[in-house]
């Protein structure tokens, strides 16, 4: 009963926070410097044309009225039309979201697996060359400037060797070929994913490696590891079956949060590789003062983060009955 | 502590490597095989994705580039003479001065769905624009009183008053199919905001009359236009040019950055990058034997504008002194690395018919020291004083300090707003140079780069600025923008008269030019307007960058060079695979 009350209370908090975020974002976009209409007109258009556009975009109303219209539409699942695309923003987001999830979820999972695996090895060889190499390597790759790394990889593997496409998500030749089936198209997407995925992997795996390494070092000091050794278990069994699963918990938490954040994509990665995802759209909508699209993108990110936090809190509360905030 | 089984590790690594290589080989061979099958398709790189194919909404340059290949107007510009020539129209328009009626004959043509394009479609387009007040086109048609279609190949437009822009602006409006848009218009009329409904209409299969029609659009990745088998120009000679298209289609690929698109061009993934090449890339591309560079003039204007509503730039002498200080040769040689044209007037020199060469040329042929002396002379004669004059008693140029206005008050520091360097490095750099040149004269100028949207808001909406550097990359060839930019009635929020220039004499000539139906008479008025503007200097024209475009050699031939570059309708109609 107490748990239900707790969940209900947390849900109300989440809803309130969400609406606070919505309001702040709405006002920020309206008050921030920049005029969406001035970006859309050229010398062929008159000031009257600009006024007509303002009315069509709904910007002629006072901010309070615009806000209430937005809230009213929000409850009907209508987030407005993009100023530039002229399409419902929900359609644009649904079109781009799967691309972002595909790239970033894959990169997080791949980085986490490799990071955990290498972190385990590094901790097992603590103080030796393997450990030093891995730790330094992880630190170096994790701190690389992403656009620089991406451009270098594009130049080397995309241009010089010509092994991979320079940008994009699909080859028009494959997708325009009526005979190309699902497998050919899937392979084509994978082929285009190689470079952005490798870039993201290089940037991210180091963090998981370092978390795993330090967590593993702590775990190896635990009594049950000593007990396992005392029982005469093989070192590999102790490492892989006793220490690693427990040491990986912080990595799992980190991966969970990263997955939630992955829907926001990576503006830099998506821009450099022209990956048609949410990150690129977010940057473009903000720079062009496309309020409805930018607002919807930010709200989606806020919503996912709030819900993931709620789920984590509820799970903690469920697993540990002492936890009640 | 025992190590991981080395044998196992080697085995895993081997499998990962084999798998990766196999994937690479399969996909690579797929890619190469399919590339070969697309020999007759032109691949163009775009820096951004077109936002829409709705001709009425298309406001970004990328959408308009693509839409321009599908929807066609009655008249287009000849690539050599830049004169308007009949396109969908069969002959030049006939004007009856008494009735203010233009009669236009339309050539036999078909829509991409195979139906006939008639005068009804043309009349519908004009009526549609007027009924729904479509922005961008409304002001080109709202002076049309009545439209008649005596037969299916003739349209008569009756004007309320004489309008010089009717042929160059109104008759260059893209024509839409009545059948397609009648249905949409009916639905829109039932809504509270019909125009909004029409602008937000997603046109999935545009019915058009141009050389290409939409085949497929994978949003975010590519857009494919296929040859229109019903294109009216196919096999016809227009202005001595035998039209195709001779290519099967055009694929537009989207690139997020210039770096990626230029690498793709060099690699052969695209045949042309449809965007001006920045000077930094030119030498590298010139050295590449597979790349051909084209250099053309643009109808562009980059300028420094002043807020003449308030001090200090309310004073024409200060504006003239600034104009004298501008070292345009330095801007062109050093900032544009030679890829630009010096501008003397607001109309670019490439627009030869309307360009007035006989305007005041401040500081022409002077070196920096002479400029400072001349600017100092202008200000001193106007009553400006200095604590330390920029020219000392012996006539030597020194760093001026503490400039005072003619009323004896110290000149307050002012800003030169520019777009940021990541948006346009040239304009940002020009701002810095202007700041330095003005400071030599003791004028407290501060260059302030700011986000482009914020800059427009500051200058165009709030009028809260001292001076700014902006530009138009693609000005219309009709010089009516001169009137728009400087007529006093446009000095209002979001109006084009951003400087707040107010000259009743100019207004009178500008209004006369708008209704001058005689081309030569209009030219003399437009020339007079240019002279007045350069004399009063609300704007200082800085430069017109040259347009450098890069294409792959050995794939297609027949690029047509014209003002605005080789990416034009004529090229698309004449390109042939090699």
For residue range B301-342, what is the model confidence (pLDDT) as tens digits? 999 999 999 999 999 999 999 999 999 999 999 999 999 999
Which of B402, B435, B441, B397 minimizes the C-alpha distance to B417? B435
Query: Do residue A170 and residue B476 have CB atoms under 8 angstroms apart?
Result: no
**For the residues B73-98, what does the mean pLDDT come to?**
96
Tell me, what's the pLDDT at B314?
Answer: 95
- Alpha-carbon gap: A156 to the closest alpha carbon of chain B (Å): 11
Tell me, what's the pLDDT at A44?
Answer: 81
What single-letter DSSP state applies at residue A242? I
Per-window interface: B 16-35 vs A, CB < 8 A:
23-24, 26-28, 30-31, 34-35
DSSP percent split of chain A into helix, strand, coil, nearest 5: 75, 0, 25
| Overall pTM surpassing 0.90 (yes/no) | no
- Alpha-carbon gap: B485 to the closest alpha carbon of chain A (Å): 8
Q: Which residues of B touch A56 (CB under 8 A)?
A: 135, 193, 195-196, 199
What single-letter DSSP state applies at residue B277? P
**For the residues A67-86, what does the mean pLDDT come to?**
91
* Lowest model confidence (mean pLDDT) among A139-143, A318-322, B57-61, B179-183: A318-322
* Lowest model confidence (mean pLDDT) among A306-315, B154-163, B510-519: A306-315
Per-residue CA distances from B215 to A263, B70, B107, B205, B227 (Å): 31, 11, 26, 8, 9
Per-window interface: B 162-201 vs A, CB < 8 A:
169, 193, 195-196, 199-201
* Lowest model confidence (mean pLDDT) among A224-233, B123-132, B300-309: A224-233
Tell me, what's the pLDDT at A236?
Answer: 87
Question: What whole-number distance in Å separates Cα of residue B230 and Cα of residue B250?
Answer: 17
Query: Do residue A34 and residue B453 have CB atoms under 8 angstroms apart?
Result: yes
Question: What whole-number distance in Å separates Cα of residue B480 and Cα of residue A43?
Answer: 9
- Alpha-carbon gap: A249 to the closest alpha carbon of chain B (Å): 22
Q: Are B71 and B552 in contact (CB under 8 A)?
A: no
Tell me, what's the pLDDT at B16?
Answer: 54
Q: What is the phi/psi pair of residue B256, to 5°?
A: -80, -25
Question: What whole-number distance in Å separates Cα of residue A73 and Cα of residue A92?
Answer: 17
- A53-75 tens-digit pLDDT: 999 999 999 999 999 999 998 88
* Total CB pairs under 8 A between chain A and B: 210
Tell me, what's the pLDDT at B19?
Answer: 58
Q: Has residue B4 got a pLDDT over 50?
A: no
Q: What is the phi/psi pair of residue B155, to 5°?
A: -130, 140
* Lowest model confidence (mean pLDDT) among A235-239, B37-41, B52-56, B453-457: B37-41
Number of H helices, E strands in chain A: 15, 0
Query: Do residue A166 and residue B263 have CB atoms under 8 angstroms apart?
Result: yes
| Strand-pair partners of B306 | B467
Q: Are A165 and A191 in contact (CB under 8 A)?
A: yes
Complex confidence, ipTM: 0.87
- Alpha-carbon gap: A49 to the closest alpha carbon of chain B (Å): 5
Q: Has residue B33 got a pLDDT over 50?
A: no
Tell me, what's the pLDDT at B29?
Answer: 47
Task: Tell me whether residue A215 is exposed, middle or buried, using C-beta atoms within 10 angstroms of its C-beta: 0 to 12, 13 to 18, 19 or more.
Answer: buried
Bigger pLDDT: A77 or B112?
B112
Q: What angle is formed at CA A281 by the lines to CA A275 and CA A287, rounded to 5 degrees?
A: 130
Q: Considering chain B, what percentage of its residues have pLDDT values greater than 70?
A: 93
Query: Do residue A33 and residue B457 have CB atoms under 8 angstroms apart?
Result: yes
- B479-505 tens-digit pLDDT: 999 999 999 999 999 899 999 999 999
* pLDDT-derived band at B389, boundaries 50, 70, 90: very high
What single-letter DSSP state applies at residue B559? P
Task: Looking at B335-451, list the stretches that DSSP marks H as alpha helix, in order from N- to C-terminal side.
Answer: 368-381, 425-440
- B536-554 tens-digit pLDDT: 999 999 999 999 999 999 9
- A205-224 tens-digit pLDDT: 999 999 999 999 999 888 99
Q: Are B87 and B75 in contact (CB under 8 A)?
A: yes
Tell me, what's the pLDDT at A287?
Answer: 86
Query: Do residue B461 and residue A38 have CB atoms under 8 angstroms apart?
Result: yes
pLDDT, averaged across chain A: 89
Stated length of chain B: 578
Question: What whole-number distance in Å separates Cα of residue A148 and Cα of residue B531?
Answer: 50
CB contact set of B143 (below 8 Å; sequence gap of 6+): B159, B160, B161, B163, B166
- Alpha-carbon gap: A53 to the closest alpha carbon of chain B (Å): 7
Question: What whole-number distance in Å separates Cα of residue B509 and Cα of residue B416?
Answer: 30
Is B4 an 8 Å CB contact of chain A?
yes
- B39-66 tens-digit pLDDT: 799 999 999 999 999 999 998 889 999 9
- B128-147 tens-digit pLDDT: 999 999 998 999 999 999 99
Q: Has residue B10 got a pLDDT over 70?
A: no
């Amino acid at each position: 009963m107490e748990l239900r009350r707790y969940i209900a209370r947390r849900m109300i908090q989440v809803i309130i926070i969400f609406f606070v975020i919505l309001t702040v974002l709405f006002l920020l976009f309206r008050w921030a410097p920049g005029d969406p209409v001035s970006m859309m007109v050229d010398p062929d258009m008159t000031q009257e044309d600009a006024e007509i556009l303002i009315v069509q975009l709904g910007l002629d109303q006072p901010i309070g009225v615009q806000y209430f219209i937005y809230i009213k539409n929000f409850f009907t699942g209508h987030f407005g039309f993009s100023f530039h695309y002229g399409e419902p923003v929900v359609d644009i987001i649904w079109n781009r979201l799967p691309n972002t999830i595909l790239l970033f979820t894959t990169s997080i999972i791949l980085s986490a697996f490799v990071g955990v695996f290498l972190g385990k090895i590094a901790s097992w060889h603590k103080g030796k060359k393997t450990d030093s190499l891995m730790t330094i390597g992880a630190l170096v790759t994790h701190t690389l400037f992403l656009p620089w790394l991406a451009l270098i990889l594009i130049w080397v593997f995309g241009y010089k060797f010509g092994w991979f496409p320079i940008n994009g998500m699909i080859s028009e030749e494959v997708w325009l070929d009526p005979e190309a089936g699902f497998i050919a198209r899937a392979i084509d997407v994978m082929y285009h994913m190689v470079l952005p995925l490798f870039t993201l992997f290089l940037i991210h795996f180091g963090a998981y490696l370092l978390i795993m390494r330090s967590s593993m070092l702590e775990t190896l000091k635990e009594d049950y590891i000593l007990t396992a050794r005392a029982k005469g278990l093989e070192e590999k069994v102790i490492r892989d079956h006793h220490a690693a699963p427990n040491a990986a918990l912080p990595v799992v938490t980190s991966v969970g949060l990263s997955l939630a954040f992955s829907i926001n994509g990576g503006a830099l990665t998506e821009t450099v590789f022209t990956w048609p995802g949410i990150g690129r759209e977010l940057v473009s909508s903000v720079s062009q003062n496309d309020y409805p699209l930018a607002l919807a993108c930010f709200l989606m990110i806020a919503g996912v983060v709030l819900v993931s936090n709620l789920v984590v809190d509820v799970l903690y509360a469920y697993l540990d009955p002492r936890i009640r905030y | 502590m025992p190590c991981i089984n080395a044998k196992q590790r080697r085995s895993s690594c081997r499998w990962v490597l084999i798998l990766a290589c196999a994937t690479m080989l399969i996909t690579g061979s797929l890619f190469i095989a399919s590339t070969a099958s697309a020999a007759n398709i032109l691949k163009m790189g775009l820096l951004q994705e077109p936002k829409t194919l709705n001709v009425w909404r298309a406001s970004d340059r990328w959408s308009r580039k693509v839409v321009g290949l599908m929807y066609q107007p009655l008249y287009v510009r000849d690539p050599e003479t830049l004169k308007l020539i009949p396109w969908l129209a069969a002959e030049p328009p006939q004007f009856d001065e008494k009735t203010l009626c233009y009669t236009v004959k339309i050539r036999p043509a078909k829509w991409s769905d195979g139906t006939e394009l008639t005068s009804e479609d043309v009349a519908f387009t004009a009526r549609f624009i007027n009924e729904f007040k479509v922005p961008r086109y409304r002001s080109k048609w709202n002076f049309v009183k009545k439209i008649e279609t005596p037969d299916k190949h003739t349209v008569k437009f009756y004007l309320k008053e004489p309008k010089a822009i009717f042929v160059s602006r109104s008759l260059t409006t893209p024509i839409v199919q009545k059948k397609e848009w009648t249905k949409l218009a009916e639905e829109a009329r039932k809504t509270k905001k019909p125009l909004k409904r029409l602008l937000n209409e997603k046109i999935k299969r545009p019915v058009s009359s141009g050389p290409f029609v939409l085949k497929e659009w994978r949003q975010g990745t590519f857009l494919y236009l296929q040859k229109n088998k019903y294109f009216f120009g196919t096999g016809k000679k227009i202005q001595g040019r035998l039209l195709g298209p001779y290519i099967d289609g055009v694929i537009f690929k989207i690139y997020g950055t210039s770096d990626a698109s230029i690498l793709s061009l060099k690699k052969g993934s695209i045949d042309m990058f449809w965007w001006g090449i920045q000077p930094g890339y030119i030498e590298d591309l010139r050295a590449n034997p597979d790349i051909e560079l084209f250099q053309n003039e643009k109808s562009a204007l980059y300028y420094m504008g002043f807020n003449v509503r308030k001090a200090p730039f309310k004073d024409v002498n200060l504006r003239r002194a600034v104009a004298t200080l501008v070292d345009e040769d330095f801007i062109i040689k050093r900032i544009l690395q030679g890829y630009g044209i010096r501008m003397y007037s607001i109309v670019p020199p490439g627009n030869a018919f309307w360009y007035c060469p006989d305007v005041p040329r401040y500081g022409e042929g002077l070196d920096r020291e002479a400029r400072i002396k001349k600017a100092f002379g202008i200000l001193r004669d106007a009553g400006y004083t200095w604590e330390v004059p920029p020219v000392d008693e012996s006539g030597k140029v020194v760093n001026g300090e503490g400039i005072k206005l003619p009323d004896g008050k110290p000149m307050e520091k002012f800003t030169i707003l520019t777009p940021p360097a990541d948006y346009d490095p040239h304009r940002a750099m020009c701002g810095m140079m202007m700041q330095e040149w003005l400071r030599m004269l003791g004028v407290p100028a501060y260059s302030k780069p700011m986000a482009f949207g914020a800059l427009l808001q500051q200058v165009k909406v709030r009028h809260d600025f001292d001076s700014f550097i902006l530009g138009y990359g693609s000005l219309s060839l009709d010089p009516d923008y001169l009137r728009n930019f400087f007529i006093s009635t446009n000095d209002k929020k979001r109006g084009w008269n951003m400087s707040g220039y107010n000259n009743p004499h100019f207004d009178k000539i500008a209004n006369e030019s708008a209704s001058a139906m005689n081309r030569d008479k209009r030219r003399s008025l437009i020339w007079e307007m240019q002279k007045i503007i350069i004399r009063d200097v609300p704007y200082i024209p800085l430069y017109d960058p040259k347009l450098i475009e890069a294409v792959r050699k050995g794939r297609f031939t027949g690029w047509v060079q014209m003002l605005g570059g080789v990416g034009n309708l004529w090229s698309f109609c004449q390109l042939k695979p090699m």
